């Protein structure tokens, strides 16, 4: 049997050749974690993954406090033409949004600041869409309010099928698309597997944070929590690296300070950087 070359895999997955290795590992990782039911099973499966698999699947290209701190000019310089945004807890507040979308007396509204952002992104020449795992009311509501170019609901991230649909629909390839979201498993896991530039932001929703706080009290954690814990344990990435003040946020191609002097971490980071499509802009 003949082995497929990376360029053949790239062609098959319809992603740029320079990001195919990362996307391939990310896709395999998502596949392995797909049917995980219990937390114990997830923990064991995460433990069994290689450093490359974990890094490829879950380390984002950009990590920022919120959608307003992402350097979109830099995305533009990197050749990005289409940006998809997750809605729940990325732009709005999940629990409140769901309530508002389902109760006729409440109006589902997103912040004016987000409307201004989408407007300015479109003026910069980006196509902007929403990609939510939520119901149609959330996708359509956000689309109308933000004046976006389109929306995809029940996207089933981290499955890559809707990233691929978006690329086809808006006529871009993976090197020209960025995805922004708050969920490391769904948004980053899916985006990395699709070969697009991924931007992780902190939860925008206060009600979600409160919900998680309540769950924590009874010993429940989100699946993303275990992913971050495993990354942190192996020193592959820190979502909340409080111990490294001033280095909470970074942009494309910038090495996080915590990797200084860490040979293994640095090598993995550089391997991950291979998927960044253009040279470092200083």
Q: Which positions lie near Mg ion, rule CB under 5 A?
A: 86, 88-89, 182-183
In the complex, the smallest distance separating the C-beta of residue 92 from Mg ion, rounded to whole angstroms, is 9
- Nearest partner of 142 among 194, 85, 204, 207, judged by Cα: 85
Q: Which residues contact 80 (CB under 8 A, 6 or more apart)?
A: 126, 176, 177, 178, 197
In the complex, the smallest distance separating the C-beta of residue 86 from Mg ion, rounded to whole angstroms, is 4
d(CA 19, CA 107): 42
In the complex, the smallest distance separating the C-beta of residue 209 from Mg ion, rounded to whole angstroms, is 12
How many CA atoms within 13 Å lie on the side-chain side of 178?
30
53 or 89: whose CB is closer to Mg ion? 89
Q: How many residues does the chain have?
A: 282
3-state DSSP call for residue 62?
A: strand
Q: Residues 55, 271: contact at Cβ < 8 Å?
A: yes
- Nearest partner of 172 among 125, 220, 214, judged by Cα: 125
d(CA 172, CA 193): 16
In the complex, the smallest distance separating the C-beta of residue 214 from Mg ion, rounded to whole angstroms, is 18
70 or 259: whose CB is closer to Mg ion? 70
- Nearest partner of 56 among 194, 206, 217, judged by Cα: 194
In the complex, the smallest distance separating the C-beta of residue 187 from Mg ion, rounded to whole angstroms, is 7
33 or 175: whose CB is closer to Mg ion? 33
44 or 215: whose CB is closer to Mg ion? 215
205 or 265: whose CB is closer to Mg ion? 205
42 or 87: whose CB is closer to Mg ion? 87
In the complex, the smallest distance separating the C-beta of residue 27 from Mg ion, rounded to whole angstroms, is 21
């Amino acid at each position: 049997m003949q082995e497929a070359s990376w360029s053949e895999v790239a062609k098959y997955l319809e992603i740029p050749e320079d990001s195919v290795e990362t996307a391939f590992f990310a896709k395999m990782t998502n596949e392995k974690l797909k049917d995980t039911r219990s937390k114990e099973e997830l923990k064991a499966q995460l433990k069994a993954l290689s450093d490359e698999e974990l890094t490829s699947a879950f380390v984002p290209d950009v990590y920022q406090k919120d959608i307003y701190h992402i350097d979109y000019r830099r995305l533009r310089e990197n050749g990005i033409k289409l940006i998809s945004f997750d809605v729940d807890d990325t732009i709005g507040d999940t629990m409140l949004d769901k309530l508002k979308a389902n109760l006729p007396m409440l109006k589902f509204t997103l912040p004016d600041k987000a409307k201004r952002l989408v407007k300015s992104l479109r003026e910069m020449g980006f196509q902007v869409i929403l990609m939510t795992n939520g119901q149609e009311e959330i996708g359509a509501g956000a689309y109308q309010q933000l004046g976006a170019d389109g929306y995809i609901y029940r996207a089933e991230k981290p499955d890559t099928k809707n990233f691929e649909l978006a690329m086809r629909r808006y006529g871009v390839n993976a090197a020209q698309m960025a995805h922004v979201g708050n969920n490391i498993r769904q948004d980053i896991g899916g985006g990395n597997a699709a070969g697009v530039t991924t931007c992780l932001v902190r939860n925008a929703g206060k009600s979600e944070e409160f919900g998680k706080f309540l769950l924590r009290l009874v010993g429940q954690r989100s699946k993303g929590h275990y992913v971050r814990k495993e990354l942190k344990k192996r020193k592959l990435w820190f979502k909340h690296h409080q111990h490294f003040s001033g280095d909470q946020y970074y942009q494309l191609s910038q090495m996080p300070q915590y990797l200084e002097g860490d040979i293994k971490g640095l090598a993995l980071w550089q391997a991950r950087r291979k998927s960044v499509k253009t040279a470092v802009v200083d």
